[in-house]
Amino acid sequence: MNTILHIIIKEFLQIRRDRRMLALSIMAPIVQLILLGYAATTDIRSVPMLVNDQDRSAASREFICRFTNSGYFVVEQYVSSSKEIDHYIEEGHAWLALVIPPNFGNSILAQRPVSVQLIADGSDANSANISLGYAVQIVSTYARTIMAETLQRMSTGDAGHGPAARPVRVNPEVRVWYNPELKSAHFMVPAVVALVLMIVTMTLTSLGIVKEKEVGTLEQLMVTPIKPYQLIIGKLLPFVIIGAVDITLVLSVARFWFGVPMRGSILLLYGLSGLFILTTLGLGLFVSTISRTQQQAMMTAQFFIFMPFMFFSGFAFPIENMPHWVQAITYIIPLRYFITIIRGIFLKGVGIAELWPQALALLVFGATILTLSVLRFRKRLG
Amino acid sequence: MFRRIRPILTKEFRQIRRDKRSLGVLLVLPAFLIFLIGYALNFDVKHAPLAVFDQDKKQASRELIQAFINNEYFSYRHTVGQDREIATLLGEGKALIAIVIPPGFSRELLAGRDASVQVLVDGSNANTATAVLGYTSAVLQSFSSKLTMRTMQRVGRELYLPLDFRPKVWYNPELVSAKFLVPGLIGFILMISGVVSTSLSVVKENERGTMEQIMVSPLSTRQVIIGKTIPYLIIGLLGSVLVLLVGFFLFDIVIRGNLFWLYVGIGLFLLAALGQGVLISTIAQTQQVAFILSVFSSLLPTFLLSGFVFPIRSMPIILQILSNVAPAKFFLIVVRSVILKGAGPGAFWDQLVFLAIFALLTLGISILRLRKRIE
């Protein structure tokens, strides 16, 4: 125990001497979370649109107003030719163009069918899909209003014949659970918390042992009577402490700065975050044992851990959308389980009854990876 | 000039060659990651798991359910008999959306009155929820129109659809999100490999003390920095060929525009990324700090601030301004214009200028910092 304590003191001395490092491991998570929490939004508002009104009648103006009043669209430019549309969309200044044909107002008055054209820049498929959805709703609501007016005129014309003919409709009464304002920040911020936490703790540990190897001080430690497991515990504990501080910081930022609702138990979240940190520290250590130089450690961490974790964890891209063989890969990504946990506790308020499979998976991962790195480490010594 | 740089180039290349693993990582891994991650990039919402609680169980309610079943955006998973079950299904994520059809639904519609259904959505993923709600209201709209038409026919009147619209989607008619995301991924991966390859370069020699040796040679700081950048520029350009090939063969990423301009973009972008790496390595005192700096200045901002995944237009103004520190932002505009839109340099020359400025600034500041350190 005493030996471990000495290593811990040595590590802390080293950390304290490297002020920049200490500042980075405390400040970076907060700054990153605040910035990225704002950036990670998929909400689509004020879609820049072009209008080519070839009719210029009262009806067409009213129709355009329906777009601008919806709050989803902003008219970027009124254009007069399709060539201009090409230009604006190609340069990305507008996402959507509305073309109203010259006979629009007359046709509506004369009760003739008429078509408008919507041109969307499909290169950003997600934004295009959502803005087209908004546009479709506006067009069909307008069509419905006209239909209702026509029918009313028709039935007042020959009152008394047959049952009242009016358009019936099925109205959705929408209730959105867990995130009623549909703010993507509430979904993304907890995931960014998980990501930042993982990156900080892993970066710190992954260079820990390689550094001593490279500088040559590992040999010195080896000839002392310190046992490998003592060395590893002593090296990890300081990072566990920094990790715990980081958890507190980033959770506070998520809760109080971004106002993400906390519906579940904060204690449970703390406990499971600890479990997650165990995994990331273990991974960091593992990278450390398989790398010869710090550069290799860095590449391994970035390319083999951070990147797959970002993409296969369901952080931004829903796992259900992936092909089955890719879904199978996601099961070996510990971050996947932690993101389910953190989103579940924050937004849905679920407890250990629902989250035990994820917790168990994290535990298994943490234990396996820690054991593996200790074994690898010992072999190097032997 | 070149004669002076040559020895340092040879030295760098020899060092790279000796570290086979790093060379392999920088050359082949980007293409491999595109292959793997490309399949994960998908925003398209299809087959949303649906739960239905039919309290009516008459013809109209069954027809409505059928309309949802026939829609490819939904997949009918659960028949529910109690409100409580819905809460469980949504809570555990087994259903994304639940529809409750109230008793008397068919009666109301037959009597010519409006009816309503309850739509419960798991909103935790706002993006998916918005898309699913859009599809739901489209299903209900067309269901309503069908009913109206039928009523009209029954009373012997013909009804026309007063307003129709023809959507036309450019560049990506099927609205496949991968078409948009894979070019972004190319930028993301090139950025990371660029920064990773140079961010330890100077600090490593500093830590080991070999920098002193280079300094006593007649090389100028400018030559040292250029000599450390060029080998990785070459490796990066080679890696990008592989990346584009994978994109073409696996993800149908056809380059519609001019390959020459695409490579001008890639070259400038790699220089910007390498410049950022070199700058980090002149700022950091230890490799550990350099590592953290490179992760926090390249990995996360390129993922979140460059417009790769999240539209920059939706961000708060401050972040929109701040997004200009991510060179990938400019490159993504170039790469998407060339690949998806087939646009010429007229559409993106300003982005190329920004990239060039970024590269000159980072490399220039690195030279100054290194010079100061020596003196």
Tens of pLDDT, residue by residue over B108-126, are 888 878 888 999 988 888 8
Tell if the CB–CB gap between A174 and B133 is shorter than 8 Å: yes
Q: What is the mean pLDDT of residues A78-104?
A: 87
Of B42, B120, B315, the CB nearest to A322: B42
Same domain, B272 and B242: yes
Q: Does A124 touch chain B (CB under 8 A)?
A: yes
Same domain, B130 and B261: no
Of B43, B161, B310, the CB nearest to A125: B43
Tell if the CB–CB gap between A132 and B155 is shorter than 8 Å: no
Tell if the CB–CB gap between B168 and A120 is shorter than 8 Å: yes
Determine the pLDDT at residue A167: 67
Checking if the pLDDT of A163 tops 60, the result is: no
Same domain, B213 and B93: no
Q: How many angstroms separate the CA of residue B40 from the nearest CA in chain A?
A: 5
Strands B74-79 and B163-170: unpaired
Pick the residue with more confidence: A45 or A60?
Answer: A60
Q: Does A345 touch chain B (CB under 8 A)?
A: no
pLDDT tens per residue across span B16-36: 888 777 788 788 888 888 888
Q: What is the mean pLDDT of residues B161-168?
A: 69
Q: Does A257 touch chain B (CB under 8 A)?
A: no
- CA angle, corner A283, sides to A277 and A286, nearest 5? 140
With beta carbons under 8 A apart, name residues in chain B contacting A242.
none
Instruction: Please report whether residue B221 resides in a domain.
Output: yes
Mean pLDDT of chain A: 83
Of A111, A173, A312, the CB nearest to B119: A173
Tell if the CB–CB gap between B44 and A125 is shorter than 8 Å: yes
Range from A119-128, A354-363, A364-373, B349-358 carrying the lowest mean pLDDT: A119-128
Same domain, B67 and B27: no
Determine the pLDDT at residue B27: 83
Of B33, B90, B175, the CB nearest to A122: B175
- Closest-approach residue (CA) in chain A for B336: A123
Same domain, B186 and B143: no
Q: What is the mean pLDDT of residues A306-320?
A: 86
Query: Which of B305, B299, B337, B24 has its CA nearest to residue A305?
Result: B299
Q: Does A307 touch chain B (CB under 8 A)?
A: yes
Determine the pLDDT at residue B354: 94
Q: How many angstroms separate the CA of residue A5 from the nearest CA in chain B?
A: 23
What residue type is B207 in one-letter code?
E
Binning pLDDT at 50, 70 and 90, where does residue B130 land?
Answer: confident
Tell if the CB–CB gap between A40 and B21 is shorter than 8 Å: no
Determine the pLDDT at residue B161: 65
Checking if the pLDDT of A94 tops 80, the result is: yes
Same domain, B53 and B37: no
A-interface mutation test, from B122, B170, B322, most A Cβ less than 10 A away: B170
Range from A31-45, A87-101, A361-375, B124-138 carrying the lowest mean pLDDT: A31-45
Instruction: Please report whether residue B169 resides in a domain.
Output: no
Domains: count for chain B: 2
Tell if the CB–CB gap between A39 and B319 is shorter than 8 Å: yes
Q: How many A×B Cβ pairs under 8 Å?
A: 378
A-interface mutation test, from B32, B235, B296, most A Cβ less than 10 A away: B296
Tell if the CB–CB gap between A115 and B166 is shorter than 8 Å: yes
Q: Which domains does chain A have, with CATH numbers?
A: 2-41+183-381 (no CATH), 47-157 (3.40.1710.10)
The answer to whether residues A310 and A195 touch, using CB atoms and an 8 Å cutoff, is yes
Determine the pLDDT at residue A162: 47
Pick the residue with more confidence: B339 or A153?
Answer: B339
Instruction: Please report whether residue B101 resides in a domain.
Output: yes
**Residues whose CB falls within 8 Å of the CB of residue A311, separated by 6 or more in sequence, listed in order:** A317, B37, B40, B41
Same domain, B204 and B318: yes
Same domain, B270 and B290: yes
Same domain, B26 and B58: no
What residue type is A311 in one-letter code?
F
With beta carbons under 8 A apart, name residues in chain B contacting A353.
none
Phi and psi dihedrals of A74, rounded to 5? -125, 130
Given B94, B119, B154, which residue is the final one in a domain?
B154
Checking if the pLDDT of A17 tops 80, the result is: no
d(CA A251, CA B238): 43
Determine the pLDDT at residue A295: 81
ipTM: 0.78
Residue A187 gets which letter from DSSP? H
Binning pLDDT at 50, 70 and 90, where does residue B334 land?
Answer: very high
- B48-54 β-sheet, strand order: A170-177, B115-122, B97-101, B48-54, B74-79
Query: CATH number for the domain including B93?
Result: 3.40.1710.10
Binning pLDDT at 50, 70 and 90, where does residue A160 land?
Answer: very low
Residue B28: strand pairing partners: none
Same domain, B248 and B334: yes
- CA angle, corner A75, sides to A71 and A80, nearest 5? 150
With beta carbons under 8 A apart, name residues in chain B contacting A326.
36, 39-40
> What is the DSSP track for B257-284?
S-HHHHHHHHHHHHHHHHHHHHHHHHH-
pLDDT tens per residue across span B38-89: 887 777 777 889 999 999 999 889 999 999 999 888 989 899 988 888 888 8
Instruction: Please report whether residue B171 resides in a domain.
Output: no
- Closest-approach residue (CA) in chain B for A319: B40
Determine the pLDDT at residue B46: 77
Residue B102 gets which letter from DSSP? P
Binning pLDDT at 50, 70 and 90, where does residue A15 land?
Answer: confident
Domain of B193 in residue numbering reads as 2-41+176-374
- Tokens 């879609």 — which residue? A47
B-interface mutation test, from A32, A112, A166, A169, most B Cβ less than 10 A away: A169
Question: What pTM did the predictor assign?
Answer: 0.81
Tell if the CB–CB gap between B152 and A343 is shorter than 8 Å: no
Determine the pLDDT at residue A331: 93
Same domain, B116 and B196: no
Instruction: Please report whether residue B192 resides in a domain.
Output: yes
Tell if the CB–CB gap between A124 and B180 is shorter than 8 Å: yes
Determine the pLDDT at residue B375: 67
Instruction: Please report whether residue B102 resides in a domain.
Output: yes
Instruction: Please report whether residue B167 resides in a domain.
Output: no
Q: How many angstroms separate the CA of residue A121 from the nearest CA in chain B?
A: 5
Instruction: Please report whether residue B206 resides in a domain.
Output: yes
pLDDT tens per residue across span B343-356: 888 888 999 999 99
Q: Does A244 touch chain B (CB under 8 A)?
A: no
Same domain, B37 and B52: no
